[in-house]
Chain A
Amino acid sequence: MPNYVLLVNGAERRIEADPDMPLLWALRDLLRLTGTKYGCGIGGCGACTLHENGVAVRSCQIPLSATHGKGYVTIEGLSASGNHACQLAWVEEDVAQCGYCQAGMIMETAALLARKANPTDQEIESSLEGHVCRCGTFQRVRPAVHRAAKQESA
């Protein structure tokens, strides 16, 4: 089985796995980085969203063979002490219910804010529309994104 060097949250992590193993499962099972969630496995729910070179991607759709030379950030590495603007805004707006999907939405939002300082409601919606939240927390996601945007630009 081939060896891979994954650049995750600023550290080089060596793993031995199948080339077609999705990054999601390598993170979860091999590196025990379980903040990135499995929801559907077909890129249809957004729970496994993380950053690839700063862009929000679905880690269930990325085979290890396609990870060479790329840098990944998961929810565990988004900030040193949970103080990324999105994390703070999410707590402030009390967004989470069961919380299972929230890491995916936070990672999506962090990437959005990195490329667009003050997104409109429409931009927020088109960025997050692929994210499934079965609890239904969207009424609080929107203000949380705006709050995070405000804090980022402050």
Chain B
Amino acid sequence: MTVTRRSFLKTGTLATSGFVLSFQLPALATEGKTAQAAVFSPNAYIAITPENVIRLWVTRSEMGQGVRTTLPMMLADELDVDWTQIQLVQATTGPQFKGIRLRTSGSGSTVGTYMNLRKAGATAREMLIAAAAASWHVEPSACQAKSGSVIHEATKRRLTYGQLAAAAARQPVPKSPTLKNPKDFLYIGKPRSKTDSAAIVQGRAMYGIDTAVPGMMYAVMERCPVLGGTVQSFDPKAALAVPGVQAVVPISSGLSPGVAVVAVNTWTAMKGREVLKVVWDPGPHQNFNSEDFFAEMRTAVAQDGYMVRDEGNAPNAIVSSASKIEATYEFPYQAHAPLEPMNCISDVRKDSCEIWVPSQCPNEAQKEAAQMLGLAPEAVTVHVTMLGGGFGRRLFSDYVHETVELSRSVGKPVQLLWTRSDDMRFGYFQPPSVERLVAGFDGNRKPVAWVQKSVGCDLSMIPWSDADKKNARRYHENELPWGSFDNPYNFAHLKADYVPMDAPVPTGPWRAVMYPARVFARESFVDEMAGAMGENPVALRLKLLAPGDVLKLGEQSIDRGRLIKVLQVAAEKSNWNAPMTKSADRLWGRGIACNVYDADCYIAQVAEVSVGKASHDIKVHRIVCAVDCGLVINPRGLDGQAESGITWGLSATLHGGIDFKNGGAVQSSYTDFRVIGIDEAPAIETHIVASDHPPGGFGETAVPPVAPAVANAIFAATGKRMRQLPITPAKLQQA
């Protein structure tokens, strides 16, 4: 469908004779720019009822990124209402939202809604004004909208939006509604606290795990401990003998086949599972070890990869360079480990199915459940609950499949809960990578050539054809070489290629998708170049970004000037050139790193680190962060996402990592897959660089620079270059 005014807006009336305005937005924007520009996908509805309630259907999942706060802020400004008047309704798949894409990924919640929500708000405002003007027989220009009412100043008459709702719905849709002047914004750009805070602190916020439906049974599931293995046989007797256990059911529709135990409550299901006897057919991967896989990946750096970006002739330039440096960096498998483990309720009935799930992708859940059940998608309704963290893991519906199969089998609504250990050991993992970097310098020690070879694994969610593999653009579109493809630096010769490896581990996007591994390598290596050149790491970056021009890469434009600015701000605010604290027992250092997230958000971070001289323990004291992500809707939310992303990145820098042994994940809880706690959380300072650019998505931007900034700071402190994550005291001692 082509983009037309008419298809952008359409009005209708609600059963309550309220005013409903649906607005649609290009799929381009909803999907963080990876979809085709010409396709429309309807996005959300607002409704104004005669009772003067403004309803906003939230078409994204709230998982901590603050979408249930930023969306009403945007609407409140253009519609001229007090935002407390806006009632949020979580959009559900079903007749009302047929054809509407409900998906939360790629830091796209703000990017995908901003202009369209504003246009919809402005359109509604003008129609409300027109309705009021008509009823008063005055010119619309003599009326104004304010705080949920239309006012005729000259006669002091006033009608609320609720009073005008029915009449407004009959007004023609304005061709080009006038958007508010940004200087008049009351909400956009002003710090606001989360709309759900009170519910959260009172324990009223309902996550998937908290949801219950009448007649619901509870289940847990024993999955094959070996990747690719299957159930050979099982004996349900012992489990069924546990009082309260009601059924023992083999399940094969998820990622790992297994046997579910269904009971009257969660604990009883767990007890049944404990005594369940299953004989597994381990399949072909019982000897898979990640340590061996890393050895294979290290060997594979010698292979030619698929070309991702190729400018000049980097290999020749390196051969003929006066000097060169090279280094290899490693990034392990990672788990998402959201605190609310995977869970889902399915109620499969004869001709329909209802699902309650904390999901980032309810449309896919609906479609896939319908396929399993041989139903039309419309027969399946998916309710999205609050998400206790998402981070990419909930872009998959494997646990929905399991629950649908289970509910169909027992003929009742069932809630399936993954235990923490299930959640840590199964599911999708961030793929590991080995990054080989080479830089060549001329006789004046000026860098002339850059090569980054990434050895890694494709994401399971994206099917690849051989034709795809020969098409460099597809690599970018499929997010694999993020960080090496969109290297912002200026080299006469630059090559980035990618060697895909096969492993039996299911892989999926993690927070910041594929940036963390590539940017760890790239930004550490820029520091190594600075060392080889005797150059200040900030000064070198600024030189490599000169003259601050715009780098065109396919459809992307990377504004080097914006990256220069955030580097300068981070350096200035962190007192980059000032002497560090001194102490007798610790070594101190600062490190910097920067990145551009999807040609959209520009970020630089300076980490201040100290390392125990004897103990080698690593303390990250402070991270100063400078950001240009276009217009900021909610500065308080942005600070929170910076704190959150940095903490996430720091967990992977100092802890984290999933190992596989004998075909299964080794780590099984937060005790062996550690994340940063309050005792390790650094001070974080975020400086927003004011920007006229449209808003970018910031949920993931802060993650990638953390590891290299910290590694560079450790180098500055100790002279030790740490090229493998996580960086532990033991590794530091050996280095």
Contacts and interface: CB of A to CB of B under 8 A. Distances in A.
A41 B675 CA distance: 17
Contacts of A126: 679
Contact of A37 (B388, B419, B678): B388
A117 B218 CA distance: 42
B643 A41 contact: no
A34 to B, nearest CB: 4
B338 interface: yes
Interface in A73-119: 74-76, 78, 82, 86-87, 90-92, 94-103, 106
A66 interface: no
Given A29-B267, A136-B647, A96 B194 contact: yes
A61 to B, nearest CB: 13
Interface in B187-223: 193-194, 196-198, 200-207, 209-210, 212, 218
Nearest to A25: B267
Interface residues of A, number: 64
Contact of B271 (A18, A30, A128, A137): A18
B676 interface: yes
A45 B670 contact: yes
Given A96-B197, A134-B338, A18 B391 contact: no
Contacts of A17: 265, 267
Contacts of A37: 207, 209, 339-340, 388
B261 to A, nearest CB: 15
A133 B677 CA distance: 7
Interface in B161-197: 193-194, 196-197
Interface string B686-728: 0000000000000000000000000000000000000000000
A139 B643 contact: yes
Kindly state the interface size class of chain B when it binds its partner: 35 or more
B203 A35 contact: yes
A86 B271 CA distance: 36
Contacts of B204: 35, 76
A18 B271 CA distance: 10
A25 B268 CA distance: 10
B583 interface: no
A35 to B, nearest CB: 2
Contacts of B243: 1, 18
B646 interface: yes
B266 A28 contact: yes
Nearest to B645: A136
A126 B680 CA distance: 11
Nearest to B264: A29
A28 B204 CA distance: 13
A132 to B, nearest CB: 5
A90 B197 contact: yes
B467 to A, nearest CB: 39
Given A98-B389, A124-B678, A129-B678, A82 B265 contact: no
B499 interface: no
Contacts of A135: 64, 389, 644, 647
Interface in A18-77: 18, 20-22, 25-26, 28-30, 32-42, 44-45, 47, 74-76
Interface of A: 1, 17-18, 20-22, 25-26, 28-30, 32-42, 44-45, 47, 74-76, 78, 82, 86-87, 90-92, 94-103, 106, 124-126, 128-142
Given A98-B390, A136-B651, 7 more contacts: A18-B271, A29-B218, A41-B420, A100-B339, A100-B388, A139-B643, A142-B678
6 contacts: A41-B419, A42-B671, A75-B201, A97-B65, A135-B647, A137-B640
